[in-house]
Structure 1
Amino acid sequence: MDTDGLIAGAVVASEGRVLLIRRAVPVGDLVWQFPAGKVDVGESVEGAAVREAWEEAGVVVEPVSMIGERVHPVTGWRVAYVACRWRSGHPRVASPREVAEAAWVPLRGVTERIPGGVFGPVQRYLDDALRR
């Protein structure tokens, strides 16, 4: 996978909730999102998703599987979504320069906060993960 310019998003679901961060500086209509950031040179997409969950929301996660990739309809960025399992930590603003809020959000609240709706494969993953 070509990771040049790629953004890794950590999709974390636990106990009927999804981890989201509220951006300190919105990008267009994008205010709330999954913890995400650029994949560094030599870093795997999964490693970047784990790092971003820690750097932005202060939670420890482990990668489970790749969900999918798309060009984000609001930002135009290439984003790869990684399903992650929550291990420890309570969501907090770990990077105040980038993040204004970090929170567990019920699934119905996710769709209300993300402009244009959640990427189809991510929505299917969340529907399945939160049913268990």
Structure 2
Amino acid sequence: MTTETTAEQKTEKPPVSVAIIVDQGRVLMARRRAAEGEISWVFPGGAIEAGESPEEAAVREVDEETGLKVEAVKALGDRVHPKSGVPMFYVAVRLVGGEARVADDEELDAITWATHSELPGLVPYGLFGPVQEYLDDVLPH
């Protein structure tokens, strides 16, 4: 993964791993308590800690943010997010157990299970190509 440095980006942003959780024809989205520009609805996730793989970070963050137990299925790809400048890893995970809820109310204020047709309204600037392709394959539309 390459990291571009711009004049505004004086400190390197820590890499983030997010989980793509699909269950019963919907994908879990979380709304940030404080939007970052256009970014309000996101996939659950957070900073990768020292010694963690992106898959391990995604599983841990899902538990911390939503209370769900998941396991990593496959890495979908990585990029520097075009809106935030944050290095991002995207991981498809499988739901193992739990009831989705806002478990971290400092970070999140809502969660929703979104259908394929609801995604453009939640993420109007579009999803990362490999994530969109994955969701196109696994969600009914």
Bin for the TM-score computed over the shorter chain: over 0.9
Matched, 1:35 2:52: no
2:66 corresponding residue in structure 1: 57
1:50-129 pair list within 5 angstroms: 50-129=59-138
1:23 corresponding residue in structure 2: 32
Deviations 1:3-52 (A, max 9, x none): x8210010111111001100011111101000010000011110100011
Count the aligned residue pairs.
130
* In structure 2, distance between residues paired with 1:63 and 1:109: 24
Runs of at least 5 residues in structure 1 that lack an aligned partner in the other structure: none
1:6-17 pair list within 5 angstroms: 6-17=15-26
Runs of 4 or more consecutive aligned structure 1 residues displaced over 6 Å after TM superposition: none
Instruction: Compare CA radii of gyration and give the structure with the larger one.
Output: 2
Q: Is the 8 A contact 2:18 2:91 kept in 1?
A: yes
1:70: how far off? 1.0
Q: CA RMSD in A?
A: 1.6
* In structure 2, distance between residues paired with 1:121 and 1:55: 25
Runs of at least 5 residues in structure 2 that lack an aligned partner in the other structure: 3-12
Q: Is the 8 A contact 1:91 1:104 kept in 2?
A: no
With normalisation by structure 2, the TM-score equals 0.87
1:5 corresponding residue in structure 2: 14
Q: Which amino acid aligns with 2:98?
A: G
1:97: how far off? 0.3
Q: Which amino acid aligns with 1:82?
A: V
